[in-house]
Amino acid sequence: MSNVIHLLTGRPLRSLDEVLPFPGECLPCFVGRMVGSQGCSGGLGWVEQFRMHRAKRASALTRRLAAQGALCDCTLTDVVWRLSPGLWEWTADGRLLPPAEAPPCVGVRPNSAQPCRHWVSADELAM
Ligand SMILES: [Zn+2]
Ligand SMILES: [Zn+2]
């Protein structure tokens, strides 16, 4: 078990595969999945985990996302990117809300830190 993983989750893992991005999985899909299954790292720990395994050359990634307002993993999929309005669902009381869980990632090319087409920039959505 890696010390990095232990620091992030504070508990043992059955397998390292549980905390690795799927092949082709994009950054916000991965981070959203980790926050859902393991919890927020309290910083950009899952972002950094993604970067180390899938986008090593994107050395400014966490700094760039922090500048966009991502204070921790769970704010990434709220403040920086939101699920595309096409995926939102009507609730019984007539409100349109993002689904609690993102659908499976549609994939991005290797070494990309870009989101897949499930995500839109939160700025864009606010307009
Ligand atoms: Zn958080
Ligand atoms: Zn995705």
Report CA dihedral (9, 66, 32, 51) to the nearest 10 degrees: -70
Q: How far is the CA of 29 from the centre of ligand 1 (A)?
A: 15
Whose atoms come closest to the Cα of 73: which ligand?
1
3-state SS class at 122:
helix
Whose atoms come closest to the Cα of 114: which ligand?
2
The domain locations on the chain are 3-126
| Prediction pTM value | 0.87
Distance set, CA 80 to CA 45, 49, 77, 99, 126 (Å): 16, 18, 6, 17, 11
Q: Tell me the per-residue pLDDT of 28-79, one tens digit each, with 9 for 90 and over.
A: 999 999 999 999 999 999 999 999 999 999 999 999 999 999 999 999 999 9
Higher pLDDT, 4 or 102: 102
Q: How far is the CA of 87 from the centre of ligand 1 (A)?
A: 23
